[in-house]
Chain A
Amino acid sequence: MRGSQAPRHAARSAGLGLAAALAVTATGCGVAVGDDSVDLDYWLWDANQLLPYQQCVDAFEEENPDVRVRISQYGFDDYWMKLTAGFVAGTAPDVFTDHLSRYPEYVQRDLLLDLDSLDATAAVDADEFQEGLADLWVGQDGGWYGMPKDFDTVAVFYNETMLSEAGLTPEDLQDLDWNPQDGGSFEEVVARLTVDSQGHRGDEEEFDPDDVVTYGLASQGSGGTSGQTMWSWTAGSTGWRFTDTDVWGQEYNFDDPRLHESLDWLFGFVDKGYLASYEEVGGDANAQQQLGSGQAAMTTDGSWMINSYTRLDGVDVGIAGLPSGPTGHPVSMYNGLADSISADTDHPQEAARLVAFLGSETCQNIVGDAAVVLPARPASTDRAVEAFAERGIDVSPFTDLVEEQHTMFYPVTDQFGAIDALMTPAMDEIYIGGRDAETLADLNERVNAMLE
């Protein structure tokens, strides 16, 4: 069947004109209906954002009476599966929320439209967004493939009660530092927050690291290739970066001793009793669960988790900044989602109008006011900061990092799926204790070979 060769075009040339037309109608995928209006499909995965984005779409439809938008939401794993099938069969949505780890694969295969080539989106200036966010979505060919919608960074979430029980105050969590040699003041705090079954703390003589009740630091698993919320901030603040260039690196730096030292230090917490072992939490460790159950006192996690932590029953969670590293300041991974337009769409101009609107101040303010994530436009970010503040949550630890540019990008390269399949088991092995971090140097050669 032609389908196996060029599936997306099979139906169009298959001589099944009627059937194909029916199919397109059935999916409602950007087909003009009786009146002159145009239907667009928009997909996203985070159910928490469904409400604000529905409001955005309502506002958009008001401004654009000739366009109707249908939002669909699918869970993260289902989302990518259905999207892939959609690309194969030509039933992909016109506009969808995109992720940095996925879009290079799509760009490489000409599945996305260049936003610069469409009127409505070309009119948007990349500088209107938080610094550097739009650059993440510029492909190697110079095309622009995603309109930034939000950003995320990493900070420390801690249990306020446990902190005061340890004789510490929120001020003690300001300006902490760490280094791979003695762990710095951050390690002292982690040790202080760790409690064994006899009530001895991690910094006391009698402490038994094999009988811990509350770990100072919650585990996020090994963190895999990107270590986004688990270890990226450690290596990042030694000056290490994933790749040779900020975006579209040609070489990974998994052979860098600074990375190895950082991993050794962090995962060394397991033996010291400050961090749960792999056996206890597994590869898909849920830090929210550990904080919620009192198994851990503190964790590093992303800004999209703010509501998940602050809504925990019976646990008062505070937020503090990441500790500074050997470079003298903290470094957080800086990542963001964007909206992309499928090359399959029958209505690129209308889709572009939608995307431009989703990235506009009007929509971003709606998202900001909903206080779920941090929107991509600085003014809207401020609205979100205020909205969070009204609920008593200070999110400045997340936003300060961006203002001070203490960030590094999520690794955007080709072949991320294959690299991840190789790196994740290795990272797990390091966490378990069965592998030396130094051996990542061997893997780095294989990873870089994939990029050639």
Chain B
Amino acid sequence: MSAVENPAPARPRLGRPRTAGRRDDTRLALMFILPAAIGLVVFYFWPLVRGIWLSFTSWDILTPARFVGLANYQEMIGDPVFWNAVRVTLIYVVINIGVQTVVALLLAVLMQRLSRSILLRSLVLTPFLVSNVVAALVFLWILDFQLGIGNQFLDSLGVGRVGFFTTEAWVIPTIALVNVWRHMGYTALLLFAGLQAIPSNLYEAARVDGASELRQFFTITVPLLRPILGLVLIISVIGSFQVFDTVAVTTNGGPVDSSRVLQLYIYDNAFGQFNFGYAAALSVALLVILLVVTVLQYRVTRAGQTDLN
């Protein structure tokens, strides 16, 4: 089951409204994007261009930048802390996004199918109302090795205590799951909005055909949710790569370097060591990684298209 069964008659894309003929909306479009474009250029692109320029300089923030060519990039290639940060960040993203997407999808479907309660929907969003820093602090407290209620619970179950924030094996999964906690309701809400946009008569038709809930999920929900799911994935992956607050508050990169994610390393170089040129080069590397990942995702999920029209 797919778009073909959408009762809205399929139409050739180029067949624009008969009355208007085939029009070019360029002037109108420019007007519509003007405010956003101002924001884009002034607050994102100008800093981006400047940042890329700074990656070819040695700049300590407080005195003039000096052009050094590719020196920062050469240093980066040979910097084991950088490569470790890339590895740690990737592991983080995989765990964070993997778990978050599954849980959020589950939550969204449950919300859609089980209850129209607004209270329920609000409760699910509550973790997002708490800042990253506070969320991290709360879990640092709950999961403290000795004093945390979480570890005392595990201990009483006979599982034994776990060094969630203090052992190399646990630290990244723990931080990833703390952020799943904070973002799962948010993500679920986005997916929920997508679920709502799926025409209900598709489900009705499927019911008439005797399709089970599970079958409806895979034949209607998943394919029709694809554009929103793709969008949510792209945005959360980009966000996930930029994890910073949670790590800075809980482990500050430790034990040793096992949670030293890219953004933390970048931030530390820029504001801890006044090594902004190098931090800029690291940021460019992160940007390139993000670009590659996003283009791949965009292709795979075809997030740019809709099956509804």
Touching chains A and B, CB distance < 8 Å: yes
A88 is contacted by which of B50, B62, B252 (Cβ under 8 Å)? B62
Beta-carbon contact of B256 and A5 below 8 Å: no
Beta-carbon contact of A279 and B256 below 8 Å: no
How far, in whole Å, are A234 and B121 apart by their CA atoms in the complex?
Answer: 57
Min CB gap B60→A, angstroms: 7
Tell me whether A388 is interfacial, beta carbon within 8 Å.
no
Tell me whether B12 is interfacial, beta carbon within 8 Å.
no
Beta-carbon contact of A4 and B62 below 8 Å: no
Tell me whether B65 is interfacial, beta carbon within 8 Å.
yes
Min CB gap A365→B, angstroms: 36
Q: A278-B166, A281-B166, A417-B273 are in contact. Are A109 and B62 (CB under 8 A)?
A: yes
Tell me whether B167 is interfacial, beta carbon within 8 Å.
yes
Tell me whether B146 is interfacial, beta carbon within 8 Å.
yes
Tell me whether B153 is interfacial, beta carbon within 8 Å.
no
Tell me whether A80 is interfacial, beta carbon within 8 Å.
yes
Beta-carbon contact of A428 and B167 below 8 Å: no
How far, in whole Å, are A307 and B268 apart by their CA atoms in the complex?
Answer: 31
Q: A282-B166, A428-B255 are in contact. Are A418 and B273 (CB under 8 A)?
A: yes
Chain A residues whose C-beta falls within 8 Å of the C-beta of B256 in the assembled complex:
425, 428-429, 432, 434
Chain B residues whose C-beta falls within 8 Å of the C-beta of A436 in the assembled complex:
none
Tell me whether B181 is interfacial, beta carbon within 8 Å.
no
Beta-carbon contact of B62 and A425 below 8 Å: no
Tell me whether B127 is interfacial, beta carbon within 8 Å.
no
Task: Encode contact with A along B38-56: 1 for CB under 8 Å, 0 otherwise.
Answer: 0000000010001001100
Chain A residues whose C-beta falls within 8 Å of the C-beta of B255 in the assembled complex:
278, 282-283, 428-429, 432
Tell me whether B298 is interfacial, beta carbon within 8 Å.
no
Beta-carbon contact of A421 and B271 below 8 Å: no
How far, in whole Å, are A4 and B50 apart by their CA atoms in the complex?
Answer: 8
Task: Encode contact with B along A268-302: 1 for CB under 8 Å, 0 otherwise.
Answer: 00000000101111111000010001010000000
Chain A residues whose C-beta falls within 8 Å of the C-beta of B65 in the assembled complex:
4-5
Task: Encode contact with A along B54-75: 1 for CB under 8 Å, 0 otherwise.
Answer: 1000011111110000000000
Q: A4-B53, A84-B271, A434-B256 are in contact. Are A280 and B251 (CB under 8 A)?
A: no
Beta-carbon contact of A295 and B146 below 8 Å: yes
Task: Encode contact with B along A418-448: 1 for CB under 8 Å, 0 otherwise.
Answer: 1011000100110010100000000000000
B254 is contacted by which of A4, A106, A283, A289 (Cβ under 8 Å)? A283
Chain B residues whose C-beta falls within 8 Å of the C-beta of A87 in the assembled complex:
61-62
Tell me whether B230 is interfacial, beta carbon within 8 Å.
no
Most buried by A among B53, B146, B257: B146
Taking chain B's interface residues, is the majority helix, strand, or loop, or is none over half, making it mixed? loop
Task: Encode contact with B along A1-13: 1 for CB under 8 Å, 0 otherwise.
Answer: 1001110100000
Tell me whether A105 is interfacial, beta carbon within 8 Å.
yes
How far, in whole Å, are A109 and B276 apart by their CA atoms in the complex?
Answer: 15
Chain A residues whose C-beta falls within 8 Å of the C-beta of B147 in the assembled complex:
289, 293, 295
Beta-carbon contact of B163 and A6 below 8 Å: no
How far, in whole Å, are A182 and B275 apart by their CA atoms in the complex?
Answer: 44
Q: A109-B62, A109-B63, A278-B166 are in contact. Are A421 and B254 (CB under 8 A)?
A: no
Beta-carbon contact of B272 and A421 below 8 Å: yes
Chain A residues whose C-beta falls within 8 Å of the C-beta of B275 in the assembled complex:
418
Q: Which residue of B lies closest to A283 (CB)?
A: B254
Min CB gap B174→A, angstroms: 11
Tell me whether B253 is interfacial, beta carbon within 8 Å.
yes
Tell me whether B165 is interfacial, beta carbon within 8 Å.
yes
Task: Encode contact with A along B166-200: 1 for CB under 8 Å, 0 otherwise.
Answer: 11000000000000000000000000000000000
Tell me whether B128 is interfacial, beta carbon within 8 Å.
no
Tell me whether A111 is interfacial, beta carbon within 8 Å.
yes
Tell me whether A18 is interfacial, beta carbon within 8 Å.
no
Most buried by A among B53, B253, B274: B274
Q: Which residue of A lies closest to B63 (CB)?
A: A109
Q: Which of A356-415 contact B (CB under 8 A)?
A: 415
Min CB gap A30→B, angstroms: 19
Tell me whether A81 is interfacial, beta carbon within 8 Å.
yes
Beta-carbon contact of B61 and A4 below 8 Å: no
Beta-carbon contact of A109 and B60 below 8 Å: yes
How far, in whole Å, are A417 and B252 apart by their CA atoms in the complex?
Answer: 14
Q: Which residue of A lies closest to B268 (CB)?
A: A421
Min CB gap B214→A, angstroms: 43
Chain A residues whose C-beta falls within 8 Å of the C-beta of B272 in the assembled complex:
417, 420-421
Chain A residues whose C-beta falls within 8 Å of the C-beta of B203 in the assembled complex:
none
Chain A residues whose C-beta falls within 8 Å of the C-beta of B139 in the assembled complex:
none
Beta-carbon contact of B254 and A282 below 8 Å: yes
How far, in whole Å, are A301 and B100 apart by their CA atoms in the complex?
Answer: 42
Task: Encode contact with A along B218-255: 1 for CB under 8 Å, 0 otherwise.
Answer: 00000000000000000000000000000000011111
Chain B residues whose C-beta falls within 8 Å of the C-beta of A284 in the assembled complex:
251-252
How far, in whole Å, are A276 and B260 apart by their CA atoms in the complex?
Answer: 23
Q: Which residue of B lies closest to A429 (CB)?
A: B256
Min CB gap B83→A, angstroms: 15
How far, in whole Å, are A81 and B271 apart by their CA atoms in the complex?
Answer: 7
Most buried by A among B166, B252, B257, B275: B166
Min CB gap B163→A, angstroms: 4
Min CB gap A411→B, angstroms: 16
Min CB gap B26→A, angstroms: 31
How far, in whole Å, are A1 and B50 apart by their CA atoms in the complex?
Answer: 8
- The 7 A-B pairs of least Cβ separation, nearest first, read A417-B273, A279-B163, A283-B254, A282-B166, A109-B62, A280-B145, A418-B273
The 28 listed contacts between A and B (C-beta, < 8 Å) are A5-B64, A6-B64, A81-B271, A84-B61, A84-B62, A88-B61, A276-B146, A279-B163, A279-B166, A279-B167, A280-B145, A280-B146, A280-B163, A281-B145, A281-B166, A283-B251, A283-B252, A283-B255, A293-B146, A417-B274, A418-B273, A418-B275, A420-B272, A421-B273, A425-B253, A428-B254, A429-B256, A432-B256
Known A279-B167, A281-B145, A425-B254; further 4 A-B contacts with Cβ < 8 A: A1-B46, A6-B63, A284-B251, A425-B253
Interface residues of B (CB under 8 A from A): 46, 50, 53-54, 59-65, 145-147, 163, 165-167, 251-257, 260, 268-269, 271-275
